[in-house]
Amino acid sequence: SQKIEQNSEALNIQEGKTATLTCNYTNYSPAYLQWYRQDPGRGPVFLLLIRENEKEKRKERLKVTFDTTLKQSLFHITASQPADSATYLCASNYIPTFGRGTSLIVHP
Amino acid sequence: EAQVTQNPRYLITVTGKKLTVTCSQNMNHEYMSWYRQDPGLGLRQIYYSMNVEVTDKGDVPEGYKVSRKEKRNFPLILESPSPNQTSLYFCASSLSQTATRGYTFGSGTRLTVV
Protein backbone atom coordinates (compact mmCIF):
# COMPACT_ATOMS: atom_id res chain seq x y z
CA SER A 1 0.00 0.00 0.00
CA GLN A 2 1.10 3.57 -0.43
CA LYS A 3 2.23 5.79 2.42
CA ILE A 4 2.48 9.55 2.49
CA GLU A 5 5.16 10.87 4.83
CA GLN A 6 5.45 14.41 6.07
CA ASN A 7 7.82 15.86 8.62
CA SER A 8 6.11 15.69 11.99
CA GLU A 9 8.31 18.41 13.44
CA ALA A 10 6.91 21.92 13.24
CA LEU A 11 8.58 24.33 10.85
CA ASN A 12 9.31 27.71 12.40
CA ILE A 13 10.25 30.59 10.10
CA GLN A 14 10.38 34.37 10.16
CA GLU A 15 7.82 36.47 8.37
CA GLY A 16 8.84 37.28 4.83
CA LYS A 17 10.89 34.13 4.33
CA THR A 18 9.99 31.20 2.10
CA ALA A 19 8.55 28.16 3.83
CA THR A 20 9.28 24.79 2.25
CA LEU A 21 7.38 21.68 3.30
CA THR A 22 8.17 18.15 2.15
CA CYS A 23 5.92 15.25 1.21
CA ASN A 24 7.42 11.86 0.43
CA TYR A 25 5.52 8.89 -0.91
CA THR A 26 6.38 5.21 -0.96
CA ASN A 27 6.02 2.57 -3.64
CA TYR A 28 4.47 3.65 -6.92
CA SER A 29 3.97 7.20 -8.06
CA PRO A 30 0.45 8.56 -7.57
CA ALA A 31 -1.30 10.11 -10.55
CA TYR A 32 -1.41 13.35 -8.58
CA LEU A 33 -0.75 14.88 -5.20
CA GLN A 34 -2.89 17.41 -3.40
CA TRP A 35 -2.03 19.94 -0.73
CA TYR A 36 -4.43 21.15 1.94
CA ARG A 37 -4.33 23.69 4.73
CA GLN A 38 -5.87 22.81 8.09
CA ASP A 39 -6.44 25.19 10.97
CA PRO A 40 -6.87 23.77 14.50
CA GLY A 41 -10.23 22.02 14.92
CA ARG A 42 -11.30 22.86 11.37
CA GLY A 43 -11.65 20.83 8.20
CA PRO A 44 -8.81 20.78 5.64
CA VAL A 45 -9.09 23.28 2.81
CA PHE A 46 -7.88 22.33 -0.67
CA LEU A 47 -5.03 24.46 -2.00
CA LEU A 48 -3.36 22.89 -5.01
CA LEU A 49 -3.18 19.72 -7.08
CA ILE A 50 -0.16 18.68 -9.11
CA ARG A 51 -0.17 15.84 -11.59
CA GLU A 52 2.55 13.25 -12.03
CA ASN A 53 3.57 14.72 -15.40
CA GLU A 54 3.75 18.30 -14.10
CA LYS A 55 7.00 19.42 -12.59
CA GLU A 56 5.68 22.59 -10.99
CA LYS A 57 2.40 24.37 -10.24
CA ARG A 58 1.88 27.89 -8.91
CA LYS A 59 -0.97 29.77 -7.31
CA GLU A 60 -0.30 33.24 -5.98
CA ARG A 61 2.40 32.83 -3.26
CA LEU A 62 2.19 29.03 -3.39
CA LYS A 63 4.34 26.71 -5.47
CA VAL A 64 4.27 22.93 -5.58
CA THR A 65 6.74 20.58 -7.27
CA PHE A 66 6.52 16.87 -8.08
CA ASP A 67 9.69 14.83 -8.45
CA THR A 68 9.00 11.21 -9.41
CA THR A 69 12.68 10.30 -9.14
CA LEU A 70 12.92 11.41 -5.52
CA LYS A 71 9.29 10.32 -4.86
CA GLN A 72 8.73 13.71 -3.37
CA SER A 73 6.61 16.84 -3.55
CA LEU A 74 7.73 20.18 -2.17
CA PHE A 75 5.30 22.88 -1.11
CA HIS A 76 6.60 26.44 -0.96
CA ILE A 77 5.01 29.56 0.49
CA THR A 78 6.91 32.67 -0.52
CA ALA A 79 6.84 35.93 1.47
CA SER A 80 5.28 34.04 4.36
CA GLN A 81 2.96 35.81 6.81
CA PRO A 82 1.81 34.94 10.34
CA ALA A 83 -1.62 34.22 8.82
CA ASP A 84 -0.01 31.32 6.92
CA SER A 85 0.52 29.52 10.23
CA ALA A 86 -1.40 26.25 10.03
CA THR A 87 -0.93 22.55 9.40
CA TYR A 88 -0.39 21.57 5.77
CA LEU A 89 -1.45 18.16 4.56
CA CYS A 90 -0.28 16.25 1.52
CA ALA A 91 -2.56 13.64 -0.07
CA SER A 92 -2.26 11.18 -2.92
CA ASN A 93 -5.10 10.08 -5.14
CA TYR A 94 -4.68 6.46 -3.99
CA ILE A 95 -7.65 5.65 -1.67
CA PRO A 96 -7.03 8.77 -1.10
CA THR A 97 -4.20 8.70 1.41
CA PHE A 98 -3.31 11.67 3.57
CA GLY A 99 -0.06 12.46 5.30
CA ARG A 100 -0.11 13.43 8.97
CA GLY A 101 0.68 17.01 8.12
CA THR A 102 3.40 19.48 8.99
CA SER A 103 2.74 22.42 11.26
CA LEU A 104 4.04 25.75 9.96
CA ILE A 105 4.57 28.62 12.39
CA VAL A 106 5.44 32.02 10.93
CA HIS A 107 6.85 34.44 13.47
CA PRO A 108 6.33 38.19 13.04
CA GLU B 1 -22.45 28.96 -0.81
CA ALA B 2 -20.94 25.61 -1.81
CA GLN B 3 -20.33 23.62 1.34
CA VAL B 4 -20.38 20.40 3.28
CA THR B 5 -22.46 20.66 6.43
CA GLN B 6 -21.93 18.35 9.36
CA ASN B 7 -24.00 18.14 12.51
CA PRO B 8 -23.54 18.22 15.37
CA ARG B 9 -20.32 20.15 15.82
CA TYR B 10 -19.71 18.70 19.27
CA LEU B 11 -21.18 15.58 20.83
CA ILE B 12 -20.64 13.86 24.16
CA THR B 13 -22.32 10.51 24.56
CA VAL B 14 -22.16 7.38 26.67
CA THR B 15 -20.88 3.98 25.66
CA GLY B 16 -23.43 1.95 23.76
CA LYS B 17 -25.90 4.72 22.93
CA LYS B 18 -26.52 4.76 19.19
CA LEU B 19 -25.80 8.03 17.43
CA THR B 20 -25.83 9.50 13.95
CA VAL B 21 -23.64 12.27 12.59
CA THR B 22 -25.22 13.91 9.57
CA CYS B 23 -23.41 15.15 6.49
CA SER B 24 -24.95 17.07 3.61
CA GLN B 25 -23.42 18.71 0.54
CA ASN B 26 -25.01 21.17 -1.87
CA MET B 27 -22.60 20.79 -4.79
CA ASN B 28 -24.16 17.76 -6.51
CA HIS B 29 -20.99 15.80 -5.78
CA GLU B 30 -21.02 12.09 -6.53
CA TYR B 31 -18.25 11.11 -4.13
CA MET B 32 -18.56 11.42 -0.35
CA SER B 33 -16.35 10.12 2.40
CA TRP B 34 -15.95 10.00 6.17
CA TYR B 35 -12.64 10.42 8.00
CA ARG B 36 -11.53 10.37 11.57
CA GLN B 37 -8.55 12.37 12.74
CA ASP B 38 -6.57 11.44 15.81
CA PRO B 39 -3.38 13.06 17.18
CA GLY B 40 -0.32 11.48 15.62
CA LEU B 41 -2.39 9.35 13.23
CA GLY B 42 -3.63 11.89 10.73
CA LEU B 43 -6.76 11.48 8.64
CA ARG B 44 -7.99 7.92 8.22
CA GLN B 45 -10.83 7.01 5.92
CA ILE B 46 -13.79 5.20 7.49
CA TYR B 47 -16.22 4.73 4.61
CA TYR B 48 -16.76 6.24 1.21
CA SER B 49 -19.49 6.37 -1.38
CA MET B 50 -19.04 6.79 -5.10
CA ASN B 51 -22.72 7.44 -5.74
CA VAL B 52 -26.23 6.81 -4.43
CA GLU B 53 -26.60 3.32 -2.93
CA VAL B 54 -22.86 2.62 -3.49
CA THR B 55 -20.74 2.52 -0.34
CA ASP B 56 -17.48 0.83 0.55
CA LYS B 57 -15.15 0.40 3.50
CA GLY B 58 -12.11 2.58 4.02
CA ASP B 59 -9.15 1.88 6.26
CA VAL B 60 -10.95 1.87 9.63
CA PRO B 61 -14.63 0.82 9.13
CA GLU B 62 -15.08 -1.29 12.27
CA GLY B 63 -17.84 0.04 14.53
CA TYR B 64 -19.33 2.36 11.90
CA LYS B 65 -22.12 2.21 9.35
CA VAL B 66 -23.10 4.55 6.55
CA SER B 67 -25.89 4.91 4.04
CA ARG B 68 -26.32 6.89 0.82
CA LYS B 69 -29.99 7.01 -0.02
CA GLU B 70 -29.78 10.47 -1.57
CA LYS B 71 -26.93 12.12 -3.42
CA ARG B 72 -26.58 15.03 -1.00
CA ASN B 73 -26.62 13.11 2.31
CA PHE B 74 -24.14 10.66 3.78
CA PRO B 75 -24.81 10.01 7.49
CA LEU B 76 -22.33 8.21 9.73
CA ILE B 77 -23.89 5.83 12.22
CA LEU B 78 -22.32 4.48 15.37
CA GLU B 79 -24.57 1.64 16.52
CA SER B 80 -22.79 1.07 19.83
CA PRO B 81 -20.15 3.75 20.41
CA SER B 82 -17.11 2.92 22.50
CA PRO B 83 -14.46 5.20 24.05
CA ASN B 84 -11.94 4.33 21.31
CA GLN B 85 -14.27 6.09 18.86
CA THR B 86 -13.61 9.38 20.61
CA SER B 87 -12.18 11.44 17.77
CA LEU B 88 -12.60 14.37 15.39
CA TYR B 89 -14.70 13.33 12.41
CA PHE B 90 -14.80 14.92 8.98
CA CYS B 91 -17.10 14.42 6.05
CA ALA B 92 -15.73 15.26 2.60
CA SER B 93 -17.10 15.35 -0.91
CA SER B 94 -15.87 15.77 -4.47
CA LEU B 95 -17.23 15.61 -7.98
CA SER B 96 -15.78 12.14 -8.34
CA GLN B 97 -13.32 9.85 -6.58
CA THR B 98 -10.49 11.23 -8.68
CA ALA B 99 -11.09 14.63 -7.04
CA THR B 100 -8.99 16.59 -9.50
CA ARG B 101 -10.47 19.74 -7.99
CA GLY B 102 -9.81 18.56 -4.48
CA TYR B 103 -12.09 17.46 -1.69
CA THR B 104 -14.41 19.82 0.17
CA PHE B 105 -14.43 19.05 3.87
CA GLY B 106 -17.03 19.81 6.50
CA SER B 107 -16.16 21.73 9.67
CA GLY B 108 -15.85 18.57 11.71
CA THR B 109 -17.65 16.81 14.57
CA ARG B 110 -15.78 16.37 17.81
CA LEU B 111 -17.14 13.21 19.42
CA THR B 112 -16.43 12.14 22.98
CA VAL B 113 -17.62 8.74 24.16
CA VAL B 114 -17.51 8.26 27.93
Q: How far is B48 from chain A (nearest CA, A)?
A: 10
**Distance of alpha carbon A89 from alpha carbon A103, whole angstroms:** 9
Per-residue pLDDT of chain B (114 residues; tens, 9 = 90+): 889 999 999 999 999 999 999 999 999 999 999 999 998 888 999 999 999 999 999 999 999 999 999 999 999 999 999 999 999 999 999 998 777 889 999 999 999 999
Whether B76 contacts B91, CB under 8 Å: yes
CA torsion sign for A89, B89, A92, A50 is: negative
**Distance of alpha carbon B11 from alpha carbon A12, whole angstroms:** 34
Contact A99 B42 (CB under 8 A): yes
3-state percent helix, strand, coil for chain A, nearest multiple of 5: 5, 55, 45
Q: What is the CA radius of gyration of chain B?
A: 13
* Chain B residues close to A101, C-beta within 8 Å: 42
- Identify which of B100, B104, B107 has the shortest CB distance to residue A42: B107
Please report the number of interchain residue pairs, chain A to chain B, with beta-carbon separation below 8 angstroms.
50
Q: How far is B1 from chain A (nearest CA, A)?
A: 15
Please write the tens of the pLDDT for every residue from A29-83. 888 999 999 999 899 999 999 999 998 999 999 999 999 999 999 999 999 999 9
* Chain B residues close to A39, C-beta within 8 Å: none
The 3-state DSSP class for residue A104 equals strand
**Distance of alpha carbon A99 from alpha carbon A88, whole angstroms:** 9
